[in-house]
Chains A and B, each alone.
Chain A
Amino acid sequence: MRYLPHSDAERADMLAVIGATSAEALFASVPRSAMLSKSVDLPAHSPEFLVEAHMRALANKNHAAADGPFFVGAGAYRHHVPATVDHLIQRSEWLTAYTPYQPEVAQGTLQMLFEFQTQVAHLTGMEVANASMYDGSTATAEAVLMARRLTRKDKMVLSGGLHPHYRDVVRTYLDNSPNLICQPASPEGQGDILSHIDDDTAAIVIQTPDFFGHLRDLERAAEAIHARGGLLIVVVTEIVSLGLLEAPGALGADIVVCEGQSIGNALNFGGPYVGLMATKKEFIRQMPGRLCGETVDAEGTRGFVLTLSTREQHIRREKATSNICTNSGLCALAFSIHMGLLGEAGLTRLARLNHARAVALAKALRAVPGVELLNKTFFNEMTIRLNSLAAPVVEVLARNGILAGVPVSRLIPDDPAAANLMVLAATELTTDADIAALVSGLTGALK
């Protein structure tokens, strides 16, 4: 077996040094009844070329995003990732390093995390950011719990524009608490979250651009919730939007959580992704997750360490702010390298290009008979209402090699008002030919 260095002779020698009669003797403490008498019913080991062929055969059954016109978004986005990013993250020293608990031998990872935290803070317009969460949805749930700790209040209001899966994750984390108010889905950008705010409200959660693509007014929301002693949590699922849209921090956000997948990370059928979390300095002691901080070594040279660990499970155990441990280190690295390659100039151009492609898509969709565009505002994603059910239309187009948008009914199955809706995204990779193919496919399907 190519991954196991010992020969049988070496194993025997080592057993002799140990003073054990057999490998099985080392398992003497295992109850006899629990030891398997024969090997598990699974295939035997396999050469590399056969394993690769098996995996390739599975992969080839799937329609990859690059195989044709592609407009699927709704929380995960297809962007171009520079070749440099994937090359660098596969370097041994990044890929196979452990969590940087021993800072003297992990300065690479630690400095990168410090840079990552800086990038996230600047993007969101917040004072501090942590070293990553699992993804945007779990970061949102953690932000909700953090707001409860900070305010010592219980009631939470989720906007109808929050991604339905994010809403579900928050529900699960809060064990379906009756104090969790979820506004009905708002495909037209409607809904008045401010009317739910009272003195018991810990926080309101607003996504912008929202699930349906609308840009939401954060400033008014911030004023309203702050007046009642609560917090504004802002969710961003398309991080590229912050290259064009105002920073949530500048509009009064107290906690900003984002899905960072768009930068540096592949679609991966949903994971691994990278959750971003940023907040105000005064709140850091209630922030979950790892934090990297600057310090000096014994010779006075600048260096970096994981810090404020008294918030974390390995120190505080049951008194920790969260149970999170392993997070998304390598995805954060990919994000940070890609963002470092873009810089302010590149991110700005990328965001403008995304918006320009979305405008082209919106204008083309508006011209299709049977299609109604619901957005007055958007960044790179929008919702349309069809004159028939959206899910079968998406299936028909998929059979023709066009991956159109997400039928809203897939996420909100029980709402008849959602049945004809479709959410579509455009990115820098969306060509005029893609849009033409979509328009022609839709026109045919809606006849």
Chain B
Amino acid sequence: MSMNTQGRPTGIGIAPAGASTPAGAFASTSGSSLLPNEPLLFEIGDTEHSGVDLPDASIGDEFLGGFKRTTPLDLAGLTEPEALRHYVRLSRLNYSIDSGMYPLGSCTMKHNPRLNEKTARLPGFADIHPLQPVSTVPGALELMNELAHWLMTLTNTSAVALTPKAGAHGEMCGMMTIRAAQAARGQGRRNVVLVPDSAHGTNPATAAFLGYSVRSVPANAQGTVDVAAVKAALGPDVAAIMLTNPNTCGLFEPQIIEIAAAVHEAGAFFYCDGANFNAIMGVVRPGDLGIDAMHINLHKTFSTPHGGGGPGAGPVVLSEALAPFAPVPFVRKGDGPLALVEHSSDTHLGRITAFNGQMGMYVRALTYMLSHGGDGLAQAAKDAVLNANYVKARLTPTFSAPFGEGPCMHEALFDDHFLEGTGVSTLDFAKALIDEGFHPMTMYFPLVVHGAMLIEPTESEPRQTLDHFCDVMLDLAADARAGNAGRFTGAPTRAARRRLDETRAARSPKLKWERAESLPRAAE
């Protein structure tokens, strides 16, 4: 099997893949609008063209042991101008924080400063190898040490494991240190982790991933967790509680100090999900609340770009009790120069990733911290909370706040009471936001609220944008209640695509381009 190398582009002019209308994949590459239908790389490129000039080296088989490739690579190539156009066209089908507000609760879609991109690309950071002699990278160790200092100071903790690759990896790392600490204490038989109903999906997934069974803790009528409920769930089999604070309802857990005390009294540890740290950085130090471990999403709180789904970074701050169980490698500060500890002693966890974690994200996050300073970070947290409360104030009482009209933290939660009897669902409502130029808010999460809509504006949004967003939300709500369900159930109409058929995608998964599809075939 090899690709068509006779003429190119291979696919243009042929019936679109999987499409039942002529307005399919290839119809509008010349651009009937500003939203192109861009063919697949494999439909434009072929196996002979390339955008990279390389000499053709002559090689023998002497060292190849008979393992030379015979299977065709079948990789499409584009020249440089074609590649630029393909990826620029594709990019235009994306919403992004630079083009508009993401009211995505729990995601902290804040401004991504470009200075961070510039510093991350300095050759002294980007072009250094994780295994080149440590003596040749003192600046890298200094950077890691400085980042650790900021994270520990902001959280009042005594250690930080920098290497986790993302938030969920940080959860795994934190829970592994807890498991290791308990094994060292002879408490290895604790096999239950308490997780509130409102938790992020990663929390129960992480606990189960590590072999713990999950015991739910119910939320009270105010959307927070009672110390009494925690006490009722605690027992000699409980290893830890995983609690998000501020929680996923956008509320600070008012009894968190009492909860921490109860957890410790029962011989368990307190893992805090730090996904919502943006609400309190520089204002409240989680270490003062009694937490033992907390991951910090550098790609949320400290502005490293989401990049369409990563890379993230999830350093975990640790209490004194857990510090000896941090994974390797880590930077050790002593009397002399900083050292990189690469091998575990008896207590250390071992490795959770091959190398030194997300250096590129460390550089960006530290650049962001230095730009803000301690004062600016606290102001950012206060502005994030101000913005969420402003949205909440403007949207209530039209939108129903399930846990009352008191102040929230950095995100405002609504339920779908206001849509009752309109024939419009939370999903429809969110999709209608797209037609008004906004990314949908977080929907159906947290699970403890019916038809939840979770809105986190972040500190980056100016008042004008917040007002525009609130005006749109109120207008949509009025329209839904006026009986114009069609505006919602058919939405979006102004995006690159109408609503996509997710059931079809899952029923017969088509997960890669198949050669046969670029050939003409009978109508379905």
Contacts of A447 in B (CB 8 A): none
A166-197 near B? 1/0 per residue, CB < 8 Å: 10110111011000000000000000000000
Question: Which chain A residues border B91 with CB–CB below 8 Å?
Answer: 88, 91, 93-94, 108
Chain B residues whose C-beta falls within 8 Å of the C-beta of A90 in the assembled complex:
117
- Asked if A369 CB lies within 8 Å of chain B CBs, one says no
Name the CB-closest residue of B to A42.
B374
**A270 touching B130, Cβ below 8 Å:** yes
Kindly list the 5 A-B residue pairs having the minimum CB-CB distance in the complex, ordered from nearest.
A343-B77, A270-B355, A59-B124, A330-B307, A61-B139
Q: Within the assembled complex, what's the spacing in Å between the Cα atoms of A217 and B367?
A: 47
Chain B contacts for A111, CB-based, 8 A: 38, 40, 90, 93
- Which B residues between 11 and 60 are near A, CB-CB below 8 angstroms? 16-21, 23-25, 37-38, 40-42, 45-52, 54-60
Report how far A347 CA is from B72 CA in the complex, Å.
12
Interface residues of A in 242-291 (CB under 8 A from B): 242-247, 249-250, 259, 266-274, 284, 290-291
List 22 A–B pairs whose Cβ atoms lie within 8 Å, in order of A's numbering.
Answer: A1-B379, A17-B390, A34-B256, A59-B123, A75-B355, A78-B127, A88-B91, A93-B92, A96-B112, A98-B306, A118-B40, A118-B41, A122-B74, A135-B354, A208-B67, A292-B511, A324-B166, A326-B311, A343-B76, A350-B54, A352-B56, A377-B63
Which A residues lie within 8 Å of B150 (CB)? 42
Q: Do residues A46 and B373 form an inter-chain contact, with CB atoms below 8 A? A: yes
Tell me whether A10 and B463 are in contact (CB under 8 A). Answer: yes
**A375, B65: Cα distance in complex, Å:** 11
Q: Do the beta carbons of A97 and B94 come within 8 Å of each other?
A: yes
Residue of B nearest to A394 (CB): B133
CB-CB < 8 A to A266: which residues of B?
A: 121, 126-127, 360
A106–B293 Cα distance when bound, in Å, is: 34
Given A107-B93, A329-B308, A347 and B75 contact (CB-CB distance below 8 Å): yes
Residues of the B chain whose Cβ atoms lie less than 8 Å from the Cβ of A43: 370, 373-374
**Is there a chain A Cβ closer than 8 Å to B357's Cβ?**
yes
Interface size on A, residues (CB 8 A): 209
Enumerate chain A residues within 8 angstroms of B41, measured Cβ to Cβ: 115, 118, 336, 340
B499–A82 touching, CB < 8 Å: no
A267 touches B130 (CB 8 A): yes
- Cβ–Cβ < 8 Å partners of A356 in chain B: 57-59
The interface bits of chain A over 128-168 (1 if a CB of B lies within 8 angstroms of the residue's CB, else 0) are 11011011111000000000000000000000000101101
Q: Which of chain B's residues 290-314 have a Cβ closer than 8 Å to chain A?
A: 297, 299, 305-313
* Bound-state Cα–Cα, A355 to B165, Å: 32
Is B65 a contact of A376 with CB atoms below 8 Å? yes
Per the 8 Å Cβ criterion, residues 76-106 of B in contact with A are 76-78, 80, 83-84, 86-88, 90-99, 102, 104
Q: Is the CB of A128 within 8 A of B512?
A: yes
Q: Knowing A5-B463, A60-B139, A340-B76 touch, does A245 contact B57 (C-beta < 8 A)?
A: no
Instruction: Select one of A123, A128, A299 contacting B75, CB under 8 A.
Output: A123
Q: Given A34-B288, A105-B495, A300-B19, A138 and B96 touching (CB < 8 A)?
A: no
Q: Which residues of B contact A98 (CB under 8 A)?
A: 95, 97, 102, 104, 107, 109, 306, 308-309, 439
A231 within 8 A of B: no
Given known A-B contacts A46-B370, A102-B440, A323-B209, A88 and B88 have beta carbons under 8 A apart: yes
**Chain A residues, Cβ within 8 Å of B24:** 300-302
Say yes or no for B385: interface residue by CB 8 A criterion.
yes
> B434 to chain A: closest CB distance in Å?
6
Chain B nearest Cβ from A405, distance in angstroms: 9
CB interface residues, A 328-384, toward B, < 8 Å: 328-331, 333, 336-337, 339-350, 352-353, 355-359, 362, 375-378
The verdict on B276 contacting chain A, using a C-beta distance below 8 Å, is no
CA distance A206 to B69 in the complex (A): 18
- Tell me, rounded to whole Å, the shortest Cβ–Cβ distance linking B246 to chain A: 9
- Of residues 72 to 102 in A, which have CB atoms within 8 Å of B's CB atoms? 72, 74-76, 78, 82, 84, 86, 88-100, 102
Structural contact, B374 and A41, CB atoms closer than 8 A:
yes
The answer for the CA separation of A298 and B497 in the assembled complex, in Å, is 8
Considering residues B166, B356, B431, which has the most beta carbons from chain A within 10 angstroms of its beta carbon?
B166
B154-173, CB < 8 A from A: 154, 165-169, 171-172
Known A114-B40, A296-B501, A308-B506; contact A323-B254, beta-carbon cutoff 8 A: no
Q: Say whether B18 contacts A115, CB under 8 Å.
A: no
Does B62 count as interface, using CB distance less than 8 angstroms? Answer: yes
Find the B residue at minimum CB distance from A375: B63
In whole angstroms, what is the CA distance A176 to B74 when docked?
A: 40
Is there a chain B Cβ closer than 8 Å to A313's Cβ? Answer: yes
Asked whether, in the complex, the Cβ of B382 is within 8 Å of the Cβ of A23, the reply is yes
Size of B's binding interface in residues, CB under 8 A: 215
| Docked-complex contact B305 and A330, CB < 8 angstroms | yes
Q: Is the CB of B205 within 8 A of A97?
A: no
B359 touches A30 (CB 8 A): no
Chain A proximity of B152: nearest CB distance (Å): 11
A114 to B39, CA, bound (A): 12
Chain B residues, CB < 8 A from A339: 75
B interface, over-half SS: loop
| A138–B77 CA distance with the chains assembled, in angstroms | 29
Nearest to A14 among chain B residues (CB) is B390
Complex contact B207–A347 (CB within 8 A): no
B311 — which chain A residues lie within 8 A by C-beta?
134, 271-272, 274, 326-331
Q: Which residues of A contact B69 (CB under 8 A)?
A: 242-247
Q: In the complex, A163 Cα to B210 Cα: how many Å?
A: 24
CB-CB under 8 A from B118, the residues of chain A are 52
Q: How far is the CA of A401 from the CA of B353 in the complex (A)?
A: 29
Q: A324 touches which one: B78, B168, B356, B406 (CB < 8 A)?
A: B168
Q: A4-B380, A353-B55 known; A326 and B299 CB under 8 Å?
A: yes
Asked whether, in the complex, the Cβ of B360 is within 8 Å of the Cβ of A245, the reply is no
A247 to chain B, nearest CB (A): 4
Least CB distance, B215 to chain A, in whole angstroms: 11
A135 touches B165 (CB 8 A): yes
Q: How far is the CA of A327 from the CA of B78 in the complex (A)?
A: 27
How long is the Cα–Cα vector from A106 to B17 in the complex, in angstroms? 19
Which residues from chain B contact A11 at a C-beta distance below 8 Å?
383, 386
Q: Which of A63-71, A221-229, A430-438 touches B?
A: A63-71
Q: In the complex, are the beta carbons of A299 and B23 less than 8 A apart?
A: yes
Cβ-defined partner of A269 (8 Å) among B52, B93, B130, B490? B130
Asked if residues A107 and B306 are in contact (CB atoms below 8 Å), the reply is no
Residues of A within 8 A of B496 (CB): 104-105, 107, 303
- When distances are taken between beta carbons in the complex, the residues of chain B under 8 Å from A137 are 351, 353-355
Asked whether A319 is an interface residue with its Cβ less than 8 Å from the other chain, the reply is yes
Known: A93-B94, A104-B492, A344-B74. 7 other contacts (CB 8 A): A98-B107, A114-B512, A303-B497, A310-B506, A331-B311, A340-B41, A348-B73
Q: Among B229-237, B417-425, B454-462, B476-484, which stretch is in contact with chain A? A: B454-462
Given contacts A15-B386, A293-B509, A318-B208, contact A61 B57 (CB under 8 A): no
Q: Contacts A72-B131, A327-B311 known; A349 to B360 CB distance under 8 Å?
A: no
CB distance from A419 to the nearest CB of B (A): 15
